[in-house]
Structure 1
C-alpha cells in the first residue's frame, strides 16, 4: 500500500505541535498555581516595603499603600502598639476578622501555630491561613513595624486559584486554535514541499518506462531542484546509452545471422543475377548486331534499335544497383543506426518527393495521422522500405486509384500499412513475393521495369531491424505492412 510522504510529514508536525501544547498545558496546570502564589507573596512583601516602618505612616506612603492594595486586591490593617486600628483598607466585616486574627498572631502563640508559614524574617512573616468560619484560605503577611505598631495584609487564595484555572482554560483554548491553524498551515506547506518530490516520482516512473521526454520543470536552487536537474541529466545519458545499446544489439544479432547465411546467399545471388541479366544482355546484343549489320537502313529503325538498347541498359543499371543494395543488406555490410524519429514526418517527406509520379499515376493519397509517430529504427532504411511499398502500390494501382496509408500504435509497436486499390495477389504467390527476382505478373512487371528485388530489399531491411512485415489481400486491393518499436 502506497504511503503518502505528505501525510506522514503533516501527521508528524501536527503531533509535535499537539505534544508541545499538551506538555505546556501539563506544566502550566502543575506549576502555575505555585507561580501565582509566589508572585502574590512578593506582592505582599512589596506592600510592607511601602510602609515607613521607622515612624508613623506618612500621608504619601499611606496613599501609595492604599492605591497598591486596591490595584492588587489586598485587604490590610495597621495598628498602634496597643493593637488599635489606625488605618485600614477592607470591608467592616473583613476588618473585624483581620483585627481578631492580628490580635491572635501577636498575643496567642497557639493561634500562630495554625498558620502555614511560607517565609519568615525578623520583621514579618508570610503565611497561608485557613479560616474555618468561612471556609476560606488566605495568603497573608503580618509583622511589627518600627514604630511599634502592627501590620496585616492578606488576599484570598481562591482568587489565585480562579486566575490560575482561567489561565489554564484560556491556554488550552488557544492551544486548540494553534493546533487547528498549525495543522492547516502544515498541510499547505507540506503540499508545497512534496509537490516537486511527486513530480520527480512521476518522472522516475516515466524514465523506468523508457520515456526520456520526461523533464523536471519546477526548477529551484535547493536540494530538490538540484536533484531534478540531475534527473534531467540522467535522462539524457540513459537515452544516449540505450540508443547505443540498441545499435550494438542489432549489430551483434546481424553478425550472428550473417555467419550462418553467407554461403547460401552467394550461391543464390549468382544464380539469380545470371538469370535476370541473360534476357537484357541478349536483347542488347541482338539489336547491336542488327545495327552493325545494317538490317534496316532507315533512320526510324535505327532510332528504335538504339532506344531498345538504351532502355535495356537503364533497366540493367537499376537492377544492378538494387542487387548491390540487397547484397549489402543480406551480407550485413550496411550498418544499422538505431535512433528515435517521427515516422509521420518521414512518410510526408517521401510523398512530397514522389508527387510527380503520384500525379502521373493519377493516384489519390490518404494519409492523416493524429500527430507525431515516434519510433525506433534506422531512419534511412525505413525510408527505403516505405518508398518500395509506395512504388509498388503506384505500379499496381487500378480501379479507384486510391492509396491509403495508416500508422496504428498497439502497446509498444507501431504498424504502418500501405493499401492500394487493384487486383489482389494470388494466394499461391503470397509467400513468394518476398523472394529475390520473383514476379507475380512477369509481363506487367516487365512493362514498368520491375526487377522483383524491391520487396526482397524490404524483407532484408526488416530482418536487419528484427521487425515484422507482410501483405494482406482485400477484395478491392492489397495492403503491405511493417512494424517498428515505439516509445
Structure 2
C-alpha cells in the first residue's frame, strides 16, 4: 500500500485532502461545541442583567406587598428564578425553591439545596443587620449559590429601596436549561455529523484529486511517449497557468526533438550515401587506374619493341624511317591518352577551376566539321544539319570542343561506308545521329563507363581508348548538362540537354 501511495500523486493528494478536510471539520465542530455554551451563556446573562435592571427600577416605585404580579411576569418572560426579601431577611417572593426543572438530583435534594440556600441567605442578612449595615449593599450580601446544572451561575443579590423607604434584596438566577439543551443536541448530532463529514470529505477529495492531477498525469504520459521517441502525443488543453505553460513547452520540446531526430536521421542517411559514394569512387578510381595502366602498357610495349628492333637493325626494323614514323604515331596516341587521363583526374578530384565564357555552339559544330572534313570524305559520310543559328551557352570553350570532338569522332569511326550523320541543334538540345549501326541494349548503360568499349578486344581499328564518352559525360556535368545514348530506327543517337 505504501509503495502504491509513493508512486501515485493522485492517491497522495486524495489522502492529504481528505485528512485535511476531516481535521478542519473536527476542529470546527470542537470549537463550536466549546464556544457555543460560553457564548450562549454570555448572551443570556447579558440579557438577564438588562432585564434585572429594569425590574429593579420598577420595584423601586412599588410597595413591598404589590410586587408579586410584576415578579411573576418577569419569571415567565425570562425563565429565571428569583427571590425577593426585605431588609430583615423575610422572604417576600421566592421561585428558587420551587424550580422543578433541575437537571440532576431528586426533589428531596432540591429541597435540601433550597433550604441550605435560604439559611445561608438569612444568616448573611442577620449578620449585616446586627452590624448596623442599614444600606445592605450588594457587596455585603453576596451568595455563592451553586444549585445544580439548572442555573447559569451564582448571581449577586441586588439591593434597592421600596417606595416606602424600606430596603429590599433581589436575587435572580438565570436558567441554564437552554444552554444544556443546545449542548445535548450537539452531542446527539455528532455521529451523523461525523458520517456526513467523512462522506463529503471522501467524495470531495476524490473529485478534487482527479481534477487537480489529471493535467499532470496527461503531461506525464506525454513525457513518457517522448522518452519512447513517440512524438504523436500532444498537449491539447488550453490553459494560461503554469501547467498550461508546461504543456505548451512539452509540445515545443516534442516538435524540436522530432525535427532534430529527423535532421539527424537525414544527415546520417546522407553520410551513409556519401560513404557509399566514396567507396564507389574509390573502386572506380582503382578500376580507372588499372585500365589506364593497361591502356598505356600496350603502346609502351609497341614503342619499346620498335625502338629495340631499330637499334639492333633486325629484319624489317632496318627501315628506320618507316618505324620511326610509326613510333611517333604511338607516342601521339599515348600523349592523347595521358591528356584525357589528366583532365579526368582533375575533374574528379574537384581541383579543376571552370573558366566560363559565352560559347557559340553553332559555330563550334561548324568548325569541328571542317576539321573532320577529310575523314568524312574518306568514308563517304553524308552530313545532314538542322541547326538554329547563334545558339550560345555559358561554358569553357576548350572542354566543350573536346567533348564535341569525341562525340563526332565516335559517330565517324563507328559509321559504315556511305552512312549519314545527322546533327540537330536548338536552344536547349543537341543531337548527333549516325545511321547504319546499332548498339546492343545491354551495352547502352555501360557506354559512359571509363575504358568500356563494345568491342571487348580493345582493337584500335574501330575505336579509341574507351575514355572518350566518359570524358564527355564529365564535361557536360561540369556545365550542368545531361547526356544519353540510345538506338533509333536508323542508327544510334547521342543527345545532350543544356539547362
Q: TM-score, normalised by structure 2?
A: 0.46
Structure with the bigger percentage of strand: 1
Q: TM-score, normalised by structure 1?
A: 0.47
